[in-house]
Amino acid sequence: MSKYGMAIDLNKCNQCGACVTACKLENNVQIVSKENAAMSRVMQWMKLATTSYEGNYPDIRPVAMPTLCFQCDDPPCTKVCPVRATYKRDDGIVAQIYPQCIGCRYCMANCPYDVKVFDWFKEDQPIGYEKCYNPDVSVRPKGVVEKCTFCIHRLQKAKETAKAEHRKLNEEDYIPACAQVCPAHAFTFGDLDDSNSNVSRLKSDYRKFTLQEELGTLPKVFYLSAKSK
Amino acid sequence: MNNSQILDEDEVLFKPIYSSGKGFYILGAALSAVFLFGVAMFIRQLIYGLGETGMNQPVTWGFYIISFVFFIGISHAGTLISAILRLSKAEWRRPITRMAEVITGIVLVIGGLHPIIDLGRPDRMMHIFERGRLQSPLLWDLTSITAYFTASTIYLYLPLIPDIALLRDREGRFHKLYKILAWGYTGTEKQKHVLEKAISILMVMVIPIAISVHTVISWIFSMTLQPGWHSTIFGPYFVVGAIFSGIAALIIVMIAFRKAYHFEDYLSKFILIISGHFY
C-alpha cells in the first residue's frame, strides 16, 4: 500500500511563491478581501511561513519555508473531529470531507502546525477568478475547514487513467501542483513505502528534519537543510 | 398542607408570585431588547459567516467557547449547595437551595447552546448525533452535559413539589399550572417518605455527574497538543474554578433577590456567613 510523502529542500528553495500560487489555483482556494487579510484570515493551504529574518536594517529579508499540511501518520486533527470529517486514508493522506464538516474548528485547535484553514466568509471573488476554477475540485461553502490534501483529485484521475489503460500507477503519474511548478525543483514527492523512490532515498539524508518532532505526530513531509535549523 | 400552617411573617415569600411590580416589567423589557439584538446578530452571522465574530487564525476559538466554559462552570453552584451541603446535613443551606438549583438549570441551557452558535455550519448539527465519533472529547462533553442537565432538572423539580402543592392550595394565579405540576401531592406521611427517598438517591447521583461535567469540559482543552493546554491539571483546575464562579454568581443573585423582594429575614444570616458586610 502506498504511503505518500514529500521532501522539501530548503537549500534549493528561493521563496519565489510559485507553490503558493499553484496550490491556490489548483484547489479553488478563496481570495479574501484586504480587510480580512489584515485580520489574519488569508486562506492559504500552502504558505510560506516566515521563520526568521536575516540581514541588517535596512536590508532585512524574511527567511521563509513552504509549509503545507504535513499529512501526519498520527494526526492530532483526526483524533478530535466529532463527526469524522477528517480522517486518515490507507494511502497516508489525511482527507477532509467538506459536506460532513460542521465547522466546530476542533481540528484547527489541535493542529500544532496551524495548517488547517477555515472559511470565515464567503466573499465575492475578483471578476474572472471563477472562470479559473478547477472543475475537479469542489468549491467549499462558508463555515467548513479545509486543508492541503496532496492534490488528491490528481491521484484519483491518475488511478482512473491507469485503470482505463490497464496498467499500474507509475510514480510520475501523480504529483501535487506545488511540487510540479517549483522552478527550483525543491520538492520531491513520492511513495515512502517504495524503497526505490526518490523521496524514500532522501529520508535517510543527514540534512533531514521535521517540525516539532517531540510532539509525536510523525509528519510525512520533511525538510532538508544544510544550515542550522 | 393547609393554610393555617403558614405563618403570617412568611407572606412576603408569596408576594412576588402573585403580583409583579413595575420594576419587573421594565427589567424584562430591557433584557428582551438585549436578547433580540443578540438574535439579530446571530442571524447576521448565519448570513455572512463566522468572520463576523472577529475570530481569525491561529486562535480559532474565542468568545463563544469561553462563554460556554464559564456558563457551564457557574452551574456547579447548584450542585454544591443542594447536593453536597445536603449530604453533609448543613441546615443553613435551606434558604438558598432553590435559587442555586434554578441558576444551574438556566445556565446549563445557556451554556449548552453556545457550542451550537459557535459552529460554522449549525444546520449540520444533526451530524453529531447521526455520525458522531465517541473518541472525540466534544462528544464526551455532549453526553455529560445532557446527563447533568437531566439530573439537575429532576433534582430541582422533586423538592419543588411540596411547595407547588402549597401554591395550588392557595387558589391564586396560575392555579391550573400548579395543579398539574404538583402531581397530586397532599402531604401524607407515605408521600413524604417516597419523596425523601427519591431526593436522597438523586443527591448521591448528582454529585459525581456534576464533578465529571466540568472535568470532561476541561478535557476538550487538555486533550489537544497546544502548549498551555496540554496539561493534566485541567480537570481539578476547572472544577475548582467552576465552584468558585458558581458561588459568586449565587451571591450576586441572592443580593439582588434580597433587595428586590425584601427577603432580609431569610437571607441575612447566609450573607453574613458568606461575606459579612452586604446590607
Mean pLDDT in residue range B126-151: 91
- Where are chain A's structural domains? 4-224
Strand partners, A191: A4
B48 contacts on A by Cβ (under 8 Å): 121
Cβ separation A121–B136 shorter than 8 A: no
Which residue on chain B is closest to A37 by alpha carbon? Answer: B56
Q: What angle do CA A158, A164, A167 make, to 5 degrees?
A: 75
Count of H-run helices and E-run strands, chain B: 12, 0
Cell numbers of A2, please?
A: 502506498
A117 contacts on B by Cβ (under 8 Å): 57
Determine the residue among B128, B133, B135, B219 to mutate to test chain A binding: the one whose Cβ has the most chain A Cβ atoms within 10 Å.
B133
Cβ separation B131–A108 shorter than 8 A: no
Left (φ > 0), alpha (ψ -120 to 50) or beta: where does A222 sit?
A: beta
Cβ separation B124–A101 shorter than 8 A: yes
Q: Taking CB atoms and an 8 Å cut-off, how many pairs form between chains A and B? A: 112
Are A172 and A194 in contact by the 8 Å Cβ rule? The answer is no
More confident residue, B13 or A81: A81
Which residue on chain A is closest to B121 by alpha carbon? Answer: A102
The one-character DSSP state at A220 is S
Q: To the nearest whole angstrom, how far is the Cα of B175 from the nearest Cα of chain A?
A: 45
Provide the pLDDT confidence category of residue B14 given band limits of 50, 70 and 90.
Answer: confident
Amino acid identity of A36? Answer: N
Give ipTM to 2 decimals. Answer: 0.84
Domain B58-274 matching CATH 3.30.70: the answer reads no
Enumerate residues 84 to 103 of chain A having a beta carbon within 8 A of any beta carbon in chain B: 84, 100-103
Low-confidence ranges of chain A (pLDDT < 70): 228-229
Domain A4-224 matching CATH 3.30.930.10: the answer reads no
More confident residue, B277 or A40: A40
Which residue on chain A is closest to B140 by alpha carbon? Answer: A82
Q: For residue range B203-222, what is the model confidence (pLDDT) as tens digits?
A: 888 889 988 999 999 999 99
Q: For residue range B166-207, what is the model confidence (pLDDT) as tens digits?
A: 888 887 778 888 888 888 888 889 999 999 999 999 888 888
- Where are chain B's structural domains? 58-274
pLDDT for A105 equals: 93
B279 pLDDT exceeds 50?
no
